[in-house]
Amino acid sequence: MSSSAIRPPLILGSSSPYRRELLARLRIPFDVAVPDIDETPLAGEAPEATALRLSRRKAEAIAARHPGALVIGSDQVCTLDGAQIGKPGSHEKALAQLQQMRGRTVTFHSALCLLDSRTGEAQLADVQTRATFRDLSDAELDAYLRLETPYDCAGSAKAEGLGIALLARVESDDPTALIGLPLIALTGMLRAAGYPFFGA
């Protein structure tokens, strides 16, 4: 029997093109489904708790529609001094975020959930990345935002693109976590779930 024949369906529960591109690096078949959940943080909820809860809720929402599949849910929360920094949504808010973060070290919580809808078993991880931003001028920050328009990214910087020029240092156990899908953690979870990468 070929490895593809014994692979359960794999579904990425995300609307993010960045996560889709990362998962495609693994050269394994997968589908994409968009979860419809409320992503509002709960009152008094710690940033890492928000990220873990939302990653699981996304996976559960997709698994309910796809029995028999392995479902990946992921969420990222950016924090500065313990406070959450969300997706800016506009140029003005993005500029204010970058001004607040310049010269500072920000923590990104990249949470991951792999839910096996065959058994109901969920594996969870919070991969943290510390990113130190360069102390750039308002003009440089404004120019960056107009070039890349990262208004859908927590922290207003696309590290997979020109946003890497905003950073002076990145510290993480998983180089893909900052982009939004920690592949080292994910491949470990898939192996634990019995998913074959290199043949049956």
pLDDT of residue 18: 87
| CATH 3.40.605.10 for domain 3-192 | no
pLDDT of residue 6: 76
The secondary structure of the chain in percent helix, strand, coil, rounded to multiples of 5, reads: 35, 25, 40
Of 182, 148, 165, nearest in space to 74 by CA: 182
How many degrees, rounded to 5, is the angle at CA 169 between CA 164 and CA 170?
Answer: 80
Annotated catalytic, 75? yes
pLDDT of residue 200: 53
pLDDT of residue 5: 46
Options 38, 75, 135, 173, the catalytic residue: 75
Let me know if 139 is exposed, middle or buried by CB neighbors in 10 A (0-12, 13-18, 19+). Answer: exposed
pLDDT of residue 136: 97
pLDDT of residue 83: 87
Low-confidence ranges of the chain (pLDDT < 50): 1-5
- Torsion angle of alpha carbons 26, 30, 33, 38, nearest 10°? -40
pLDDT of residue 40: 85
In the chain, where the domains are located: 3-192
pLDDT of residue 15: 87
